[in-house]
């Protein structure tokens, strides 16, 4: 049985990766991530269609024009993107339930597709706690921290306005993880 795609969003540092790592560890063959497109060159050992769909700049731009992407971005001179088809392929080809970890723009974009996704928002207990977690993760400069906190406020506002099917507050990790599983397994997976 393969379930509908599950979209997980929430401010950076709210604990999405931590929760998903637990989920993939407990259920190693049930869930999958989509394969992204990129214009960067494959590194040794990387396989087309497995690690990435490697594509040309022209090919990538054509896909943008044709509205094929849920989200795309440019990092250090290369394009990266998640296509609607790549999400469908997780169910159709890999026979797994797709998990999409994306931001608010991505959520809005998935809503415009026919993917039939379910939407879960992971909220920090508070902005103060989020700031603490980002600081203790040790990955942020003062500038990137301020940027992430500003984005967090917008994401939380969208969640409060009812943008998702379920909101889980990641205060105690085990409690949040139980709630995550309850939401995910409320439908056959
Ligand atoms: N319930 C929790 N209580 C305390 N700390 C937590 C909890 N959940 C996660 N953390 C910690 O908060 C930090 C941020 O978590 P994580 O990296 O999973 O966030 P994220 O939402 O995946 O962020 P990003 O979107 O930037 O990848 C990590 O250091 C993690 O160990």
Give per-residue pLDDT as tens, 126-169. Answer: 999 999 999 999 999 999 999 999 999 999 999 999 999 999 99
Structure tokens, 7: 């979209």
Specify the residue for token string 């497109």.
Answer: 37
Q: So what's the pLDDT on residue 8?
A: 98
Instruction: Find the radius of gyration of the CA atoms of the chain.
Output: 17
Asked if residue 95 lies in contact with residue 189, where contact means CB atoms within 8 angstroms, the answer is: no
Q: Which of 33, 103, 133, 134 to mutate to test the pocket of ligand 1 (most atoms within 8 A of CB)?
A: 133
Q: So what's the pLDDT on residue 1?
A: 83
**Residue whose CA is closest, atom 5 of ligand 1?**
133
Residues 6 or more apart whose Cβ sits within 8 Å of residue 89: 34, 35
Q: Which of 17, 18, 101, 126 to mutate to test the pocket of ligand 1 (most atoms within 8 A of CB)?
A: 18
Task: Give percent of the chain with pLDDT exceeding 90.
Answer: 98
Give the number of other Cβ atoms within 10 Å of residue 36's Cβ.
Answer: 17
Give the number of other Cβ atoms within 10 Å of residue 109's Cβ.
Answer: 18
Q: How far is CA 39 from the centre of its chain?
A: 20
Mean pLDDT, the chain, rounded, equals 96
């Amino acid at each position: 049985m393969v379930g509908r795609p599950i979209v997980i969003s929430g401010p950076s540092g709210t604990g999405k990766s931590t929760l998903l790592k637990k989920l993939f560890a407990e259920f190693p063959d049930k869930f999958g991530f989509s394969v992204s497109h990129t214009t960067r060159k494959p590194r040794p050992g990387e396989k087309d269609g497995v690690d990435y769909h490697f594509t040309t700049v022209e090919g990538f731009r054509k896909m943008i024009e044709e509205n094929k992407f849920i989200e795309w971005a440019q990092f250090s001179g290369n394009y990266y993107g998640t296509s609607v088809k790549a999400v469908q392929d997780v169910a159709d080809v890999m026979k797994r339930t797709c998990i999409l970890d994306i931001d608010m723009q991505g959520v809005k974009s998935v809503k415009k597709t026919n993917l039939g996704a379910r939407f879960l928002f992971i909220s920090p207990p508070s902005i103060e706690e989020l700031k603490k977690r980002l600081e203790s993760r040790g990955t942020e400069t003062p500038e990137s921290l301020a940027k992430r906190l500003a984005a967090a406020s917008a994401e939380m506002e969208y969640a409060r306005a009812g943008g998702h099917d379920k909101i889980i507050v990641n205060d105690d990790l085990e409690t949040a993880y139980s709630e995550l599983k309850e939401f995910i397994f409320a439908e056959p997976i």
